[in-house]
Amino acid sequence: MPAEVPLLKLDGLTKRYGDHVAVAPTSLSIQPRDFFAILGPSGCGKTTLLRMIGGFVQPSGGTVQIGGADVTRLGPERRPTGMVFQNYGLFQHMTVRQNIAYGLKLRREPKARMDAAVDEMMALVHLDHLAERAAPELSGGQRQRVALARALILKPKVLLLDEPLAALDLKLRKTMHRELRALHQAIGGTFILVSHDQSEVMTLANRVAVMEHGAVVQEGSPRDIYMRPANVFVSGFIGEANTLRGSRRDGRIELAGGASLAHAGRDGAVSVVLRPEQLELEPIEPARVSLEAEVTDLIFLGPFTHLHCTLANGDALLVHVESRHVAAAHRPGARIRLGWKADDQLVLDAS
Amino acid sequence: MTARKIGSSQIVTALMLLPAAAIFLGLFVGSLAFFFVQSFWKASTFKVTPDFRPGNYLDVVTNYGEVLLYTLGVGVLVASLTTTLAFFFAYAVRFALGRLGDLMLAIALTTLFGGYLVKIYAWRTILGSDGIINSALINLGLIDRPLSFLLFNLGAVVVTLTHYLLPLAILPLYGALRDVDETELAAARDMGASRSRVMLDIVLPQVRPALMASFSVCFLLAAGDYVTPAMVGSPGNAMFGNFIQSQFGLRMNTPSGAAMSFTLIGTSLVLLTLIGAGLRKGLQPR
């Protein structure tokens, strides 16, 4: 992997608005055919970062290189990038066909070639039957497809997707997830997705950068980030996580919620991060760490049941267990014992 | 219950429309119809006799054809100039100036409070031989005698009318530009369009109705004006409105005045229709 020349290289890319740092110096390498996601809560600077890649925001420092060429000072019309905007920005006075053909018209593509390319693109995103429909008459999902087709027809080296599915309802979003995945595989392009939706990112991306307060705090595969979050913020943002506060002294961690476990390291405050599915009911094996909790709520979801519990110190704890392990005794108000394998826990020193 | 509700709301709607409809039908359509009929009557010395003859219209064409063309030309000139200036102003307010834009817009619209005649006299004061420009130039020692080409000519008419009409042209354009989505402009740029292409392909087609509204308002008010040319224009180059005024006033030849009025209305509408069609064709997505 590292031997490959990165298709897109950001080097110390920064954006400041006066004293406010929207994007702290950021360096990233994105390989050809990556589906790269930039994940973070709203206001973390992810959209600004994407807009700097697209050429819509002039960076305060650093460079953007695409295919080895420095494009930092080029406007969006001169970059080999295509952008799908959050609210699509379809040309309201044009039909679907005119929207999709617009970029090729600017390139003065011969009419026959252009029509063929537009037809092919409309078929790819399942819009062939709507070619002459005016943009304002389209539904959300159809707009999304037009925006995608309009950007892809120009064969951008990098396709930038700015929260492209945020405006769609859940069912449509899931359909579009599958379509986006299929599209990415079909055309073999390089996509960069900005999203605040971790499940979307897990579904689509092969690499993820998590941003907080204008800086990338962790970068890796979705699996890496889920299994080995760099800090409490990442663990809480990717998937669900229980963060138990405690302190370590002489190689033992005392959790405020009432458990004690051996763990070597520097003395001081620590957090123990546990995924809900790593917790189990009534541990019998002595190798498990365990603590006592009170069930406050129980949500049956078919194969799984979610137990909401409270620890002795009042901290909340979420547990996902297979429904077949849940007994009648596990009802709200019941006191239960929960355990986990020491291997599963992630201990983070408070910084 | 539902039926009664609809019934009463219809009555309320009708009641709300009634005063305006009465004024419009009675005063505007009514008097216009009367003058339309009269435009075919015959006028002899101090007497008007009912008739049906197209002679009045033929007289207009032979006697005032040139003035009519000149007037339509001034109308197109003023409307084009004003609409262009208004578009750039509204565009800057909408997309470039941010907070400052609101202030600029407020200032521009404040000038609507100034009366029409006040503006004309203001321009006489500015452009006149002892006006602001001439006194300033003389005091600076740049000229010895006042410049006479500033006032009482076509230039002064165009400047005065443009100043008067500008806020009226800005309003519809700013309203339309507010509805233009900035994302569309960014998307067009992303697809390779230059700034001027974005303007031509995306912005102008979407605000075309407003462009036409601004142009029409300016054109009709400029081409129909007779006060400005009389006050700041050259006496030898009167506009069509001045002649209509004299037909109704001095000469008391209402049939001829009516025929001239309807000729102006008719040619104006034809011209605007043609310009509208041209604009529609020119700004069609290709």
Residue A191: its pLDDT value, please? Answer: 96
pLDDT tier for residue B6 given thresholds of 50, 70 and 90 = low
B80: pLDDT strictly greater than 90: yes
Are A154 and B206 inside 8 Å of each other by CB? no
- Nearest residue in chain A measured CA to CA from B283: A93
pLDDT tier for residue A167 given thresholds of 50, 70 and 90 = confident
Residue B141: its pLDDT value, please? Answer: 87
Q: Which of A80-94, A95-109, B8-22, B207-221 has the lowest mean pLDDT?
A: B8-22
In CATH, the architecture of A240-349 is Beta Barrel (2.40)
Q: Cβ neighbours of residue B165 under 8 Å, at least 6 residues apart?
A: B78, B79, B82, B217, B218, B221, B222
Given its phi and psi angles, is residue B13 left (phi above 0), alpha (psi -120 to 50 degrees) or beta? Answer: alpha
Largest CA distance in chain A: 77
Are A89 and B187 inside 8 Å of each other by CB? yes
Are A98 and B285 inside 8 Å of each other by CB? yes
Q: Using alpha carbons, select from A268, A275, A316, A274 the residue that is nearest to residue A294.
A: A316
Whole-number Å distance between alpha carbons of A218 and A342: 24
Condensed to tens digits (0 to 9), the pLDDT of residues A255-295 reads: 988 888 888 888 889 999 999 999 988 776 766 788 889 99
Q: Using alpha carbons, select from B78, B22, B57, B21 the residue that is nearest to residue B264.
A: B57
pLDDT tier for residue B250 given thresholds of 50, 70 and 90 = confident
Residue A266: its pLDDT value, please? Answer: 87
Domain boundaries, chain B: 1-38, 54-282
Question: For domain A8-234, which CATH number applies: 1.10.10.10, 3.40.50.300, 3.40.640.10, 3.10.20.30?
Answer: 3.40.50.300
Q: Find the chain A residues whose C-beta atoms sit closer than 8 A to any C-beta of B.
A: 54-56, 75-78, 81-83, 85-95, 98, 102-103, 105-107, 147, 150-151, 154
- Which two tokens mark B200? 């031509």
Contacts of B187 in chain A (CB under 8 A): 83, 85, 89-91, 147, 150
Mean pLDDT score across all residues of chain B: 91
Residue B1: its pLDDT value, please? Answer: 45
Residue B23: its pLDDT value, please? Answer: 92
Residue B172: its pLDDT value, please? Answer: 96
DSSP type of residue B128: S
A328: pLDDT strictly greater than 70: yes
> What is the average pLDDT across B195-203?
95
A202: pLDDT strictly greater than 60: yes
- As a 3-state breakdown, chain A gives helix, strand, coil percent values, each rounded to 5, of 30, 35, 35
Question: For domain B54-282, which CATH number applies: 1.10.8.50, 3.20.20.190, 1.10.3720.10, 1.10.357.10?
Answer: 1.10.3720.10
Condensed to tens digits (0 to 9), the pLDDT of residues B115-125 reads: 889 999 999 99
pLDDT tier for residue B210 given thresholds of 50, 70 and 90 = very high
Q: How far is the CA of B164 from the CAs of A159, B116, B159, B173, B255, in angstroms?
A: 50, 7, 9, 16, 31
Q: What are phi and psi of B91, to 5 degrees?
A: -65, -45
> What is the average pLDDT across B160-186?
95
Mean pLDDT score across all residues of chain A: 91
Domain boundaries, chain A: 8-234, 240-349
Residue A1: its pLDDT value, please? Answer: 46
Residue A3: its pLDDT value, please? Answer: 53
- Which two tokens mark B23? 């004024």
- Which two tokens mark A55? 């050429």
pLDDT tier for residue A349 given thresholds of 50, 70 and 90 = confident
Are B183 and A105 inside 8 Å of each other by CB? no
pLDDT tier for residue B30 given thresholds of 50, 70 and 90 = very high
> What is the average pLDDT across A123-143?
93
Q: What are phi and psi of A230, to 5 degrees?
A: -75, -30
How far away is chain B from the Cα of A336, in angstroms, using its nearest Cα? Answer: 54
Condensed to tens digits (0 to 9), the pLDDT of residues A89-117 reads: 999 999 999 999 999 999 999 999 999 99
> What is the average pLDDT across B168-194?
95
Tally of CB atoms within 10 A around B252: 15
Q: What is the SS3 assignment for B147?
A: coil
